[in-house]
Amino acid sequence: MPRDIPVGNGDMLVTFDRKYRIRDLYWPHVGMPNHTGGHVQHFGVWADGDFAWIEEDSWTRSMRYKPDTMVTEVVLRNERLGLELHCEDAVDYNNPVYLRSIRVCDLRGSAREVRVFFHHDISIGGFPVGDTVNYDPKTMGLVHYKDGCYFLVNGCDSRKCGIDHFATGTKRLGEAEGTWRDAEDGQLVRSAISQGSVDSTIGFDLKLQPGGEEHLVYWIAAADSYKAARQLNQKVLDRTAERMIRRTEAYWRLWACKEPLDFSPLPEPLRDHYVRSELILRTQVDHDGAIIAANDTDITHFAGDTYSYMWPRDGAICSQSLVLAGHSELSRRFFRFCQRVVEPEGYFLHKYNPTGSLASSWHPWLKEGRPSLPIQQDETALVVWALRRHFEVFRDVEFIREVHRDLVSKPAEWIVSFRDHNGLPQPSWDLWEERYGVHLFTVATCIGALDASRDFADDFGASEESAKYGAAADQMRAAMIKHMWCEETGHFARSVTLQEDGTYTRDMTLDASAWGLFAFNALPSQDPRVASHMEAVRARLTVDTEIGGVARYENDYYHQVESKDTNRVPGNPWAICTLWMAQYDIARATTVKQLQQSVPVLEWTRERSLESGVVAEQFDPYSGAPISVSPLTWSHATIMTTIVQYLLKHAALTGKPAGTVAELTHTRPGG
């Protein structure tokens, strides 16, 4: 089930499913650890002897955010109970506190007794061994704790602060389902402490006048000690939870709208699409700099692992969108993170945990009996390329001086050394992490990185290095054209494999990642070979259903829905691949009319998003339902980048300023 309306602050991240149940709770890092393990945190209401959990069909749900901010706006209506709930969710922008404000409204016109229940299936650190949950008389809340990690749950209604009902107990041991079942009669047993595989449920009593409403605020405060948890709980009481929500709302509105972008060349809904993507992307960025690919634990049912890692490739491309949006500190944090984890030789490994430790991988160190670097070379190249994009916008020379050796000089020297006799990169894994060889996308990113390194060398007066990197880029570009372009098919090879006789065999499968040719300036977008290839991608990889969109490559097997008619449905449509075609059209446009041909693609991604604006990795080609992880950070970053590229090109064609940071520094990103 896709994740929806995530809220966070860089330390704490809370995600929900489509039924408004909390499913993931991350702290103290975005993506690590997940203290719920993806299990459901139940939320239910008892009224006049009747009970309904929020996942039941008796509820209707509207789940969105308040405009231009990271505070939710959720409306829940239950005709059977005669109630409507108006909820706002936020993580305080400055403290690890999740808050939910609820207005409970009577629909029957009679006096009502209502009880609201919150269930916590918390396994601290991601596993339940050694957990404790107890009632805390001092705060009148419950505390889940283990090993320097404390979660205090509490709340206030209009009459008082502190919980009215509570139960602690056992979960998933024997026949024990959890304490949430105890709430269904409107009562809880008030068991004060439980240890081991535990859960808890709390409840609040509300009294509604005919046609009236009552207000309730609930929170989860995270801390590294019992004392700190109590202090944070007191801070919520002193400042009031409502004031914390209001200031968080104001903060994120200021953050998201700080740049004076002129969206008037685009339809109004696309302005909201941009701002929403900007805020959703922010929820996936850790305070220590890691940009996490996605935080949706349901993918473990398919792959046995999550996307809660920092891939240098995804992070670099996402950092570009942050640069274009003017968020210089976030991009600097990302590059500082990269500086901490880059290998001494100058390359990056597969992926990393948000703490900087090496993450899980399926790339072997031994291939066909020989040592092999378990890398995707495009990841190293893209960090160098993205750092140049950052510098061209912000011109922060002192920062570049601090990271130059580790993120420019060493990677550039390694890229130069990691080539075959023709000047193409040595084999590594492709960006889709499926094939080993010399890939077109990797070649394009390496050319982009070498060009970036040459430009840095020019800036710092290093003429020898400039000449070396420029010559290597030119040689690689020429080798790419010679060995990867096929005149007979009119498009480039997806990858090539060097044979013992020095020649290459070609994999001519069409792949949308050829976008990298012009995105990283391996070739200009106006090059007839780029045009021929991209038009072939459009013709062959566009999904021929009512849903449309562009697949990754021919007969894409990942989460494949259509395996028979792959001529009509070459794969599931991906948000990033579809937007790459829009970026191609933007790059080639020489008139406003040509530029406007890319607008329907932007509208397509908006139409594919959930009501909240969340965009998945890919979609069902027949129903349009989200598939795989949701939200995918890369999807939202690509939405942002494509919209800014549109505004920049429109400004260039019309002379009307777009108001972007990139424009103010005379930067033209993305080819």
Give per-residue pLDDT as tens, 353-384: 999 999 999 999 999 899 999 999 999 999 99
For the entire predicted model, the pTM comes to 0.96
What residues have CB less than 8 Å from 433, skipping those under 6 apart?
Answer: 350, 362, 363, 376
Distance in angstroms (rounded) separating the CA atoms of residues 76 and 21: 12
CA-closest candidate to residue 459, choices 406, 387, 523, 509: 387
In the structure encoding, which two tokens stand for residue 608, read together? 């594919």
pLDDT tens for 586-618 read 999 999 999 999 999 999 999 999 999 999 999
Tell me the CATH number of domain 260-664, given options 2.40.10.10, 1.10.10.10, 1.50.10.10, 3.40.630.30: 1.50.10.10
Outline which parts of the chain fall under CATH 2.70.98.10: 4-236
Domain 4-236 indexed as CATH 2.70.98.10? yes
Report whether pLDDT(660) > 90: no
β 112-120/198-208 pair status: antiparallel
The whole-number pLDDT of residue 640 equals 98
Mean pLDDT of 222-247: 96
The whole-number pLDDT of residue 80 equals 97
Report whether pLDDT(500) > 50: yes
Distance in angstroms (rounded) separating the CA atoms of residues 184 and 45: 9
Distance in angstroms (rounded) separating the CA atoms of residues 342 and 68: 36
pLDDT tens for 192-220 read 999 999 999 999 999 999 999 999 999 99
pLDDT band of 669, cuts 50, 70, 90: very low
Q: In what order do the strands lie in the sheet with 436-439?
A: 428-429, 436-439, 495-498, 504-507
What residues have CB less than 8 Å from 456, skipping those under 6 apart?
Answer: 388, 391, 400, 404, 408
Distance in angstroms (rounded) separating the CA atoms of residues 169 and 178: 7
pLDDT tens for 106-141 read 999 999 999 999 999 999 999 999 999 999 999 999
Helix (H, G, I), strand (E, B) or coil at 286: coil
Length reported for the chain: 671
CA 530-536-537 angle, to 5 degrees, is 90
The whole-number pLDDT of residue 502 equals 81
Outline which parts of the chain fall under CATH 1.50.10.10: 260-664
The whole-number pLDDT of residue 667 equals 44
Helix (H, G, I), strand (E, B) or coil at 523: coil
| CB contact at 8 A, 438 and 427 | yes
Measure Cα distances from 648 to 386, 517, 537, 643 in Å.
18, 20, 25, 9
Beta carbons within 10 angstroms of residue 137's beta carbon? 9
- Determine what percent of the chain falls in helix, strand and coil, rounding each to the nearest 5: 35, 25, 40
The whole-number pLDDT of residue 666 equals 47
Beta carbons within 10 angstroms of residue 547's beta carbon? 19
In the structure encoding, which two tokens stand for residue 50, read together? 């009747």
Residue 26, φ and ψ in degrees, nearest 5: -105, 135
Q: What is the DSSP letter of 232?
A: H
